[in-house]
Amino acid sequence: MSVQKDQDKFFLSISQGEKKPFDFLRVLYDGCIAGGAAGVVVETALYPIDTIKTRLQVARDGGKIVLKGLYSGLAGNIVGVLPASAIFIGVYEPTKQQLLKSLPENLSAVAHFAAGAIGGIASSVVRVPTEVVKQRMQIGQFKSAPDAVRLIVANEGFKGLFAGYGSFLLRDLPFDAIELCIYEQLRIGYKLAAKRDPNDPENAMLGAVAGAVTGAVTTPLDVVKTRLMVQGSQNHYKGISDCVRTIVKEEGSHALFKGIGPRVLWIGIGGSIFFCVLEKTKKILAQKRHSKAETQN
């Protein structure tokens, strides 16, 4: 009975914020700051691995993987990653809290999954053009982000910046939803077992597990997204289903898992860094707010 009471108390604190009134603007602000910081740190630290993954996925059989210019396009990409990550977590956090209040306590996973998908949709307007420019630069099509944007629009129209948008959503919506859901559920389980909040190394460990598992499961979706985004005006693939059929026919079904090694490594380490920085930043913001409130009183 005591264990059940502890569980009830825990889920009550999660779903109702320990009876504190819900401050939408504060949660939105904290989410944007924490998300932006986490996104930039991860992107800067792991960009070379992402570049290798992209080049592996684009290479046809026998193609040579170039290891030069692994940071190509980083500066321009961060310009997009910062607002995209800020929007993603900025939308995710208040959406998650509202859903946790509205749904039964035993459906917390549904709240996390849905909030992750909604955050992904909101940030996709920034993330897709950023991803298109980044991947074109990673494979050497353009030398700078401004040139990439200018030439893509000139040659393919504005819609060229949203090349592969459908496949991006097909990959990133389930990815965002699954990763956030796994991470949040792992934290819930850990907090119940340890009877305390995870510390920074533990948040990093939980984030790594969530990222690695999600990265492996969604690799085929990532391969399709990459092929559609980098094909430009060549139109080698006519859409998502045609891309899958063509890859399997010409290269075999194993080609759908190209780059799975660096992808799992990248996203596993990325998840570790992202969620550790995210939780740490949220904690710092909360501490600063508490100190300011005490000073005013």
Q: Percent of the chain scored above 90 by pLDDT? A: 46
Positive or negative, the CA dihedral 250, 152, 123, 288 is positive
- The single-letter code of the amino acid at 83 is P
pLDDT at 242 over 70: yes
Judge whether residue 201 has pLDDT over 80.
yes
Tens-place pLDDT, residues 162-180: 988 887 788 788 889 999 9
Rounded-to-integer distance, Cα 33 and Cα 281, Å? 8
Q: Which of 21-25, 120-124, 260-264 has the lowest mean pLDDT?
A: 21-25
pLDDT mean over 76-93: 91
pLDDT at position 22, please?
Answer: 67
Model pLDDT, residue 8:
46
Q: Hey, where are the domains in the chain?
A: 2-283
- For residue 85, the one-letter residue type is S
187: closest CA among 167, 169, 170, 202? 202
pLDDT value of position 131 = 84
pLDDT digits (tens, 9 = 90+) for 126-138: 999 988 888 888 7
- Burial (Cβ within 10 Å: 0-12, 13-18, ≥19) of residue 105: middle
pTM for the whole thing? 0.76
**What's residue 262's pLDDT?**
83
| pLDDT tops 90 at residue 139 | no
* Residue 64, burial from CB neighbour count under 10 angstroms (0-12, 13-18, 19+): exposed
Query: Does the pLDDT at position 33 exceed 90?
Result: yes
Smallest CA-to-CA distance from 132 within 226, 261, 245 is with 226
Considering the domain 2-283 in this protein, what is its CATH number? 1.50.40.10
Residues 6+ apart with CB under 8 A from 49: 262, 265, 266, 269
The confidence score (pLDDT) of residue 133 equals: 87
CA distances from 34 to 73, 82, 132, 277 (A): 23, 10, 25, 7
Summarised one tens digit per residue, pLDDT across range 184-194 is 999 999 999 99
